[in-house]
């Protein structure tokens, strides 16, 4: 047994300190970035916000809208090959096909020659700390050498380095911070998300690779904190849920509309896709009803506006410069609870 005494932080534990700025208008802030990836040698230009590969978030409908704003979508792993083939060519460059170790690479093989039109592959598991997962990344890299491989999830720099050395271009960082994830409650395992982002970004950048901050964002300010902490990309689940494009179950109650939103390891997800939970495991996700939000277009404008404003507060002319201009200030729990409300 070992206890680490250094304080670690979630997004809610800090604020970004304002600094003198020469920029007075959000219009002056450039949110687009250009990335070249370590193993694939491919480049991508866009706004590095990512829709999560969750059932009612990472849909083709969401991708069709988000791609227009140069935002990425990690499609959920339950799309059929026929559905993937019908995606228009202009959108394919801004989507990732998702698979897991259990699902294998069969969907990619079944796409045949059409796989060349997709640049991103997302290998997604709840626990990225297994040798089996690293071996699968190595297999995917050998089979699809020219693809940008996203892999996760992990939350420590040592395993971030291991996934990169196994062939990942981008590592998904986050164990348990998601709004419908109960891993921390059910298992006691996790790591405060902002500290995980800071530490894993440092490890990835040292190897010429990148990270996605996956989970824990509840508002545009959290997205800015993720980028300020060094994340190259920020992945959103709950913030992109509840929209028409996600095709979630609509629930009407007392004259109001809600959308069912659930974690990928929830009872609902397991019953829907796997026929229920095996008797040797427990659910690590929950199901909630969130307010119906209409079109996703309005939400993305709100998020991008908030991040642009964050940049103007600290004097960052571009999103790329935000982390260099960021100083975090630790806030007390009492103040933080008031702030969140």
Q: 181 catalytic, yes or no?
A: yes
DSSP string for 209-247: -EEEEES---SHHHHHHHHHTT-SEEEESGGG-SBGGGT
Q: Are 130 and 159 in contact (CB under 8 A)?
A: no
Q: Are 62 and 245 in contact (CB under 8 A)?
A: yes
Give the C-alpha distances (Å, rounded to integers) separating 149 from 61, 198, 200.
Answer: 23, 21, 17
Q: Are 187 and 126 in contact (CB under 8 A)?
A: no
Q: How far is CA 51 from the centre of its chain?
A: 6
Cα torsion at 99, 283, 154, 57 (round to 10°)?
Answer: 50
Question: Nearest 5°: phi and psi at 294?
Answer: 75, -135
Catalytic residue among 122, 155, 181, 200: 181
Q: Are 154 and 173 in contact (CB under 8 A)?
A: yes
Positions annotated as catalytic residues are 181
């Amino acid at each position: 047994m070992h206890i680490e005494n250094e304080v670690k932080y979630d997004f809610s534990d800090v604020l970004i300190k304002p600094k003198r700025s020469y920029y007075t208008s959000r219009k002056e802030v450039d949110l687009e970035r250009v990335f070249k990836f370590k193993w694939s040698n491919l480049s991508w230009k866009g706004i590095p916000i990512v829709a999560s590969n969750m059932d009612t978030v990472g849909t083709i409908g969401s991708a069709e809208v988000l791609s227009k704003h140069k935002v990425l979508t990690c499609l959920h792993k339950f799309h059929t090959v026929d559905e993937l083939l019908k995606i228009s060519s202009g959108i394919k460059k801004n989507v990732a096909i998702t698979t897991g170790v259990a699902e294998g690479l069969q969907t990619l093989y079944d796409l045949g020659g059409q796989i060349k039109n997709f640049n991103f592959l997302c290998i997604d598991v709840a626990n990225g700390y297994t040798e089996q997962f690293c071996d699968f990344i190595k297999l995917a890299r050998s089979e699809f050498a020219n693809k940008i491989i996203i892999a996760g999830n992990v939350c420590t720099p040592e395993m971030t380095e291991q996934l990169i050395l196994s062939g990942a271009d981008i590592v998904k960082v986050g164990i348990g911070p998601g709004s419908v994830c109960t891993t921390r409650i059910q298992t006691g395992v996790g790591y405060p998300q902002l500290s995980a982002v800071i530490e894993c970004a440092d490890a990835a950048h040292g190897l010429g690779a990148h990270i996605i901050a996956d989970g824990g964002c509840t508002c545009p300010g959290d997205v800015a904190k993720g980028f300020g902490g060094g994340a190259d990309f920020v992945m959103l689940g709950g913030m992109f849920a509840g929209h028409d494009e996600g095709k979630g179950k609509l629930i009407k109650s007392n004259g109001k509309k809600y959308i069912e939103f659930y974690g990928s390891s929830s009872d609902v997800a397991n019953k829907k896709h796997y026929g229920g939970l095996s008797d040797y495991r427990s659910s690590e996700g929950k199901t909630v009803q969130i307010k119906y939000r209409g079109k996703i277009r309005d939400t993305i404008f709100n998020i991008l506006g908030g991040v642009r404003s964050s940049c103007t507060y600290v004097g960052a002319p571009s999103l790329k410069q935000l982390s260099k201009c960021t100083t975090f200030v630790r806030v007390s729990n009492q103040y933080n609870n008031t702030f969140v409300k």
